[in-house]
Amino acid sequence: MPTGVIKGPESEAIWARAVKTTEEQYPGLKGKDKNKFYAIVMTIYKNMCTKHKCTPKNESDMSMILNRLELFGESLPVDYTGWQLEEPLNAEERKLTSNVVRDLNKGMRNAMSVLNKWMMNNYVDVTSSDGMDKIGKELSVVWGKYIKPIINNKKYISTGITDAEPVYEAGQRLINFIKKYYGLTSWTSLGDYIS
């Protein structure tokens, strides 16, 4: 249990439940990667704390936030193939495509950071349609602010950014980010909130 972070009997009981849940969902992880194990425990604990009165430490340290993004996010593509863009045929197209990949990755990081902060600060019952609607609305907001401007950037059209595949790839990565945060494995209607 992190010293100075978990205070009081109720918080300690919730911490113990978070540890047990993590051990059940990730058997053997504690022995393989203790840091990742406790990052997951802390995430579950904080989610439980939105429902109960707990004392989670405020995560203002940027490295902690980035570690959480790395834990729940996926590795972002490093080239046009990962984003399913058109293959660049000359130096000018390669530079333009490289800029699209850079902008998409930056947009995804920003979107994930905002989603992560929102999910940490808002309790959502993911088993209810109202809960999924709340998450979907936040997804729609970050999509519109961080991803849609890149997709709609007219100077990038020749890269194939407006094709269905890159749009689907970006949307699915954000949906997967949300699903991993909540531990969802089944189909969701979150794709309906991306347009």
- Within 10 Å of residue 42's Cβ, how many Cβ atoms? 21
Residues 44-100 have pLDDT tens digits of 777 777 655 565 443 333 444 444 444 444 578 888 898 999 999 999 999 999 999
Structure tokens at 190: 């979150």
| pTM recorded for the entire structure | 0.63
**Is the CA virtual torsion 101, 103, 104, 108 positive or negative?**
positive
Residues 153-175 have pLDDT tens digits of 999 999 999 999 999 999 999 99
The rounded distance, in Å, linking the Cα atoms of 162 and 22 is: 40
Do the Cβ atoms of 102 and 150 come closer than 8 Å? Answer: no
Statement: residue 132 has pLDDT above 80: yes
Q: Provide the greatest CA pair distance for the chain.
A: 64
CA proximity to 111, closest of 137, 151, 141, 87: 141
What is the SS3 assignment for 187?
coil
pLDDT-derived band at 6 (thresholds 50, 70, 90) equals: low
Q: Indicate the average pLDDT of the chain.
A: 82
**Is the CA virtual torsion 26, 32, 38, 39 positive or negative?**
negative
